[in-house]
Amino acid sequence: MEIEVSSSMHLVYVSEIQQEMYDSAQRRGTGIAKRSIEYLSEKISEGNAVVATENGEWVGFCYIETWSHGQFVANSGLIVSPKFRHGGIATLIKDRVFALSREKFPNAKIFGLTTGLAVMKINSDLGYKPVIYSELTQDEEFWSGCKNCVNYEILMKKERKNCLCTAMLFVPDNNKVNEVVNNQPENQYQNEQESNLSV
């Protein structure tokens, strides 16, 4: 299997990728920002995506979006073909697109919103931390992407302060805001448990 930074040679998979994004959201009963063929094609052609293939067959995909004039980056649209699921491929794709985001936007904060435990675990392993929604981009265009989600009404009732998704954020060491993110209140319960385990 090959996991590559996208190029125009991967455009042959764009229709299949878009359809699986839609089908997957329908099966889960949650919405994701609906993306057009043109939008996904642009991401692929610009090299702002990662595509996994095996013997000429599409395996998985994820792309990069920038918000707030490049201050924030999201790794969006993570999808794996049903045929290749449950083999750890999503983790490999997330690792690669995360590395690509760091290469292209070394000073940007990388964030995600998800309801999936598997994605939360992957993000946590990459160094993301759970945060409140106000720590994310406030770019209106980003939040308008939530309109396709069945939980959008909840988000708006909560004045975009929280919803069913968990917000996660990675802040690079060279970003001074990292001091704030890492200065979150200590988990007293966890500290007590660790203390009890000490020999």
- CATH code of the domain covering residue 140: 3.40.630.30
Contact 137, 68 (CB under 8 A): yes
Taking only the tens place, the pLDDT of each residue in 96-110 is 999 999 999 999 999
Q: Report pLDDT for 29.
A: 64
In a 3-state reduction of DSSP, which class is residue 196? helix
Q: Report pLDDT for 189.
A: 35
191, part of any domain: no
If one counts the domains in the chain, the total is 1
pTM of structure: 0.81
- The β-bridge relationship of strands 72-80 and 109-114 is parallel
103, part of any domain: yes
Q: Report pLDDT for 186.
A: 43
189, part of any domain: no
- Please report the beta strands in 49-187, taking only residues with DSSP state E, as ranges in sequence order: 49-54, 57-67, 72-80, 109-114, 129-131, 166-170
**What residues make up the domain containing 145?**
2-175
143, part of any domain: yes
* pLDDT < 50 stretches in the chain: 177-199
